[in-house]
Amino acid sequence: MRSHFLSKIIGIAVSSALVLCSFSPVGSIAPDVYDSFASCSDINLNERAIITWKENSPLAEHDILLNECNFDVEYSDSDFSIGIFRDRDSYNTIKESPYVYSIEADSALETQALTDDTYSSTQWWLENTGTYTKADPSGSSYKITSTEGIDIDARDGWPLYKSSIGAAHEVIVAVIDTGIDYRHEDLKDAMWINEGEIPDNGIDDDHNGYIDDIYGWDFYNNESSVCHYIENDDGTYTADPNDRDDHGTHIAGIIVARANNQTAISGIARYLHTRVMALKIHGGPDRKGSVSDAVKAIRYAQSKGASVCNISWGSYTASSALEAAIERSTMLFVCAAGNYGNDNDITPLYPASFDLPNVISVAYVDCDGLLPTESSFGAKNVDLAAPSTDIYSTIVGSCGYMSGSSMAAPMVSAVAAILSSLRSNIVPSSIKDVIINNTKPLDSLTGKCVSGGLLNLYRCLKAKNDLIRDREAPSFSWTRRFEGENIVLDFVTDDGEDGSGVNSLLYKLGKRSASDFARGTEGTLIDGDSLILQKGGKHTVYVYDNAGNASVTTIPVIDDKLPPSITDVSFTVNNKRNKFTVTAKITDNQSGLKSVKYLPGLHSVSDFLSDGTVLTPDSDNIISFKASSPGIYTIMATDYRGNKTTLPVRTFVRSAQSITLSETEISMFTDDSLVLEASLYPSFSTDLLTFKSEDEGVCAVTNSGTVTARGIGETTITVYATGGATATCTVIVKKFE
């Protein structure tokens, strides 16, 4: 690929265009005026202003309003009034009128050239008239024949944008690449500036881990300087060959080079609503980068509120970390499809080929609308194409030519930034859809990309009403449960029927604010909608959706501090009165029962740390154990949160002095049954009872006291206690008549 460069804005130099830099190895929100399409851009007093009246508004009301205000009328009709505001109150009064569609400052019109910038005639991608100017190494310029209309329709798009923006909000485009020349005349007023940082004081003022990060950060060299210069004796400067920051500077110029300043070129997003953030991850003579630095740069851009991220590099090795960083971001990622002439459906290039709703992949065409053999393509994995041959843009200390998908991606990034600036909280995937669905069809792109077309600013702006907004923060509910030794919080998230969808849930210990989560880049990710904790206390949960809306809630996670319960304790003695069976019910209604033990004697919890016989409860939570002698036995129960409880049980043998039956004489009919209840005195007697009928032909009795009549007659039932006490009951069975 041939590349030509100019050494300075009016001179000549030679450099090598980076077609695709590869890894080794691999603010404030504007008032909501857009739905009515009305806009009022602020003006300067004593300068000409244009009032556009709403359709069908009464002309008489125009005259009354103008006569009452200090507005010097130069021209007025039913649709427009042109003049000068002499005081701010007059401007505010007219601006608030229900008859006013817009007020805007008068602006100059350019003739012939698209802008008055020195090299606007080289920018065929903005307006292709069939020829464009090219400078050769000798310093002369010459015309190149091209195909008229192979451009992004910037001439028609810019006025449409200007009539739509109103008080548009600022949009940040993160350029993750080599560095950016922040001193460049065409870029210095378009750089993002970190307002939370004081320059050159050696202090991390905004506490984000980066010292003096004014324009962004150099992740390659781990320093604040995002461009590395060589100062020349004649007062000019060029890029340090050990860092080669021309590539990122070239990309920045395509996006935001300021227009009509009689300097160099005009960027596509040339208005002050777009700024570029410099995030350098490539450096060294070969401009190598790494996935780790890319991930850090993405997180930085996300934390600082960037809306669009330009990626003019790639790798054929898929990185799950890189994919996760992109997926968890609310930015739109505009990615170069590559310059290897590959079918990306067969040989994917990443991150351009990640199947994510916030990734858009860009191929490139030449000035005739043809897909160069070097451009990668893909009917499924490449979304659209943009112009990218002989692209003249800013380089460090100068301007120069580069070509390739590295230059196509920032054209799409610029259009994405323009769309994003129109309204707040636009869903990134809807910007992607508008861009893809409103391309200019080209035969050369049929079957080569999803859209089959070329990027078109004008068509995208005409379709701005298709942009989807999501202004509601997602919500969530939670429930607590215990799972073994852990506390588990289960979350159910909701972003509403028309929401952009929940992106991620994160948490931090203690009571926190939304700013502590740095737009989702700080905190611990809650995976699978369940948070597993080792202890209770306050935990703050942060949830955000794909449009950047977020909500934060501090949850008082109550731990299980109650020990298990030991109830229904009893024991029985065998007939020989020499063995005991102890039973109890063990329950824990929170974290659950972990273990049960017993020891002979009276014991404390510490005695069970290394001793004790383990007991296993049955399905009804009943435990039992055998004791061979009377005395004290201690039961200990432990739950999964470490709460413990003990209960002593005394076993003994005590004979009953007497037995009392509920009935001493019973009359029954055949086949009847009833329960004969026996009470021992004293009640804590350990005796077992045995029931016996003298004539089982008359009635039968069980050891639980159930009496069943079998035949007519009379018999005696005797109850025996193992200690010797007895009692009797007479039973008379009659025939039923």
Active site amino acids: 177, 247, 406
| Side chain identity at residue 410, one-letter code | P
Contact 144, 134 (CB under 8 A): yes
Give the residue among 283, 253, 267 at the shortest CA–CA distance from 175: 253
Contact 536, 557 (CB under 8 A): yes
| Side chain identity at residue 262, one-letter code | Q
Give the residue among 469, 468, 467, 478 at the shortest CA–CA distance from 543: 478
Name the residue with tokens 């502590």: 516
| DSSP 8-state class, residue 269 | T
Region for 59 from its dihedrals, namely left if φ exceeds 0, alpha if ψ lies in -120 to 50, beta otherwise: alpha
Distance CA 243, CA 601 (A): 79
361 contacts: CB under 8 Å, gap ≥ 6:
335, 336, 337, 344, 352, 353, 378, 381, 382, 383
Give the rounded distance of the alpha carbon of 466 from its chain centre.
Answer: 23
HEC profile of 351-374: CCCCCCCCEEEEEEECCCCCCCCC
| DSSP 8-state class, residue 578 | S
Distance CA 316, CA 335 (A): 14
What are the phi and psi torsion angles at 417 (to 5°)?
-65, -40
Distance CA 706, CA 713 (A): 18
Write out the two tokens for 559.
């731990």
Burial class (CB in 10 A: 0-12, 13-18, 19+), 32: middle
Q: Which residues pair with 514 in a beta bridge?
A: none
Contact 469, 547 (CB under 8 A): yes
3-state secondary structure of 128: coil
What are the phi and psi torsion angles at 408 (to 5°)?
-70, -40
| Side chain identity at residue 456, one-letter code | N
The Cβ of residue 513 has, within 10 Å, a number of other Cβ atoms equal to 10
Distance CA 568, CA 581 (A): 14
